[in-house]
């Protein structure tokens, strides 16, 4: 979670109000690419985790929206990309 050039602002967590238990977390890391000799600075959202009991409450879109908002506030980020660690059904 603390790769090269990481920022503490790019680590977002959600906690329960009563117990203080962390129920969701998302993080991002900056990435640098060259596309047809053009330098592109973007970020990779590389870790999203939500407690099993809260997955039905649509926290994932909210976390993605918040991390995207924070990435847009940083001047070095042009875009964000997301990866999935699970195989999608029907895709080889």
pLDDT for residue 91: 55
Q: How far apart are CA 50 and CA 37, in angstroms?
A: 38
pLDDT for residue 33: 78
Provide the residue-wise pLDDT of the chain in tens; the chain has 92 residues.
Answer: 677 767 777 888 899 999 999 999 988 888 877 878 888 777 777 788 899 998 889 888 888 888 888 888 876 666 666 666 666 566 55
Residues for the chain: how many in total? 92
pTM of the model: 0.72
pLDDT for residue 22: 93
Joined together, the tokens standing for residue 77 give 């980020």
Joined together, the tokens standing for residue 14 give 């959600």
Q: How far apart are CA 8 and CA 19, in angstroms?
A: 24
DSSP 57: G
């Amino acid at each position: 979670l603390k790769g090269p050039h990481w920022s503490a602002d790019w680590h977002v967590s959600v906690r329960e109000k009563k117990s203080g238990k962390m129920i969701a977390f998302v993080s991002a890391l900056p990435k640098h690419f060259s596309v047809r000799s053009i330098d592109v600075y973007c970020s990779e959202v590389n870790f999203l985790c939500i407690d099993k009991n809260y997955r039905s409450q649509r926290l994932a879109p909210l976390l993605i929206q918040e991390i995207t908002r924070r990435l847009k506030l940083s001047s070095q980020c042009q875009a964000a990309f997301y990866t999935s660690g699970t195989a999608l059904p029907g895709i080889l």
